[in-house]
Amino acid sequence: MNKLKVLDLFCGCGGLSHGFIDAGFEVLIGVDEDEAALKTYEKNHKNSIAYRGDLYNDETIDNIYDMISDKIEVNDGLDIVIGGPPCQGFSLTGSRDINDTRNTLYLAVVKSVRKFKPKAFLIENVPGMATLYKGKVKEQIVNTFEDMGYRVTVTPKPLLAADYGVPQMRKRMFFVGIREDIAEKKGHKFEFPKPILTSDEYITCKEAISDLPSRENELGMECDEYKYEPMSEYQKLMRKNSTTLYNHVATKHTELVKQTIALVPDGGNHKDLPPGVGESRKFNEAWTRYASNKPSKTIDTGHRNHFHYKYNRVPTIRENARLQSFPDDFVFMGTKTQQNRQVGNAVPPLLAYHIAQQIKKYLIED
């Protein structure tokens, strides 16, 4: 049987793609404008095209069509368009009109769906999208795709990555549209996957990264050997296809920074520091040490405010990748700043996998 075929827009390093591939889909092409992210994408998705394109430009979508048209004709068209377009600068022009020129990034998804007429689409975004302009933006997105012939389901509340085996308290909302003729055959509305873990079963930071070398006394190398056996089922899962440890390089801190981090207890933050210490950073996430017995907080695109639950340093790229559920054989390319941005911007592959498995049920003929 032919695999369901995917177009990934705003693919970044490929968190969504990776999850869909693990669920048995074939990702034909990943599109982004970030060159470093695409190098990572290309390295880790050998059977997919990594295409650098400006999704503001209509020609990009035409070029994509030309590149993959021969592959989708044999499978009765493209099966699904996926992506997580940024929502910065989103403009509201009316509850049934997303076609404002300032909404170009969302328009790329709209235009791609109109061009390819896929069986389904998936859009990922931050929880704030649900309440932007008092919910009017969410309504506008739903109306736009419904007018194009799709039955659209939005997560009733943001999905929590920890519910799906990701050691991270990351929340994201999703839109899934099923083309009307496909939805009619199934006879019921798309439902998002139910959580696979309860709060007392969540994968903790310690369960996720305790097998990785400390890097307290040496920075380490981009490519290294494992020094310890896996200490949890999650670690076994992450190391399943890997014999080499990549991207586990520490950041060099000043003695003052290390001394300050040392004053923060497991799971603590700037509120635990003595008066007068760490005054340069006193905002909500400042001087936050991960809790060893809980999932991590949301991995962001920087790396200066969160610290290892045990060691007096910021997490390495590999540690944050583990907390995002990227397996150890997934290698990040570019500078450390670029790698941090790639990890922080990504959809956790395990979360993507569970959503992909659910979507597959609606796209495969009974």
Among 13, 87, 205, 223, the active-site one is: 87
Query: What dihedral do alpha carbons 227, 349, 269, 309 form, nearest 10°?
Result: -20
Write the secondary structure of 144-178 as one string of H (helix), E (strand) and C (coil).
Answer: HHHHCCEEEEECCCCEEHHHHCCCECCEEEEEEEE
Name which of 256, 204, 273 is nearest 234 in CA terms: 204
Q: Which long-range contacts (CB under 8 A, 24 or more apart) does 70-74 make?
A: 71/5, 71/28, 72/5, 72/28, 72/116, 74/2
CA distance 67 to 174: 28
- In the residue annotation, 223 being an active-site residue is answered as no
Name which of 121, 123, 108 is nearest 59 in CA terms: 108
CA distance 142 to 98: 10
Angle at 34 between CA 30 and CA 39, to 5 degrees: 65
Place of tokens 């992506």: 83
Burial of residue 305 (CB within 10 Å: 0-12, 13-18, 19+) is middle
- For 43, what's the count of Cα atoms within 13 Å in the CB-facing half-sphere? 14
- Strands (E) across 65-219 are located at 80-83, 120-125, 150-154, 159-160, 171-179
Catalytic residues: 87
